[in-house]
Amino acid sequence: MDQTLRASIQTSTFYYFMIVMVLTTISQLTTMTVITFGDISGKENVVAASVIGPALLGAFGIIRLLTNMSYLVSDMDEKMKATAYGAGVSGIPFSILKLIFAAVFVIIALVQLTAIY
């Protein structure tokens, strides 16, 4: 793959990752605010759905995007890997990070669900 194209795709994937992180975090913070300060009696199932949906979408989105990042990093040529950028990006443990980020979203959703019920 052309290294300029690969770098462009990698940058786009990183921005998509950040967008998923921000939107999922905002969604979870908003839901937690409603659970804490709102009267949700009789609406528990609706609020629970607003917890589960974004958590699952965020978790699966993070897993997919970080998997794509690991593929892009593995596609670097030797010249790119020899640069400081290539060495730094190659050292990122994407396989571990995707599980950690997904687990964080699921754990937050579980905490929110226990607060609802």
Query: Tens digits of per-residue pLDDT, 62-100?
Result: 999 999 989 988 888 888 889 998 899 899 999 999 999
80's tokens:
């790119």
pLDDT digits (tens, 9 = 90+) for 9-67: 888 888 988 898 898 889 888 888 888 888 888 888 888 888 888 888 889 989 999 99
* Exposure b/e, 10-29, CB count within 10 A at least 16 = b: beebbeebeebbeebeebbe
* 116 and 48 Cβ atoms separated by less than 8 Å: yes
- Centre a 10 Å sphere on the Cβ of residue 111 and count the other Cβ atoms it contains: 14
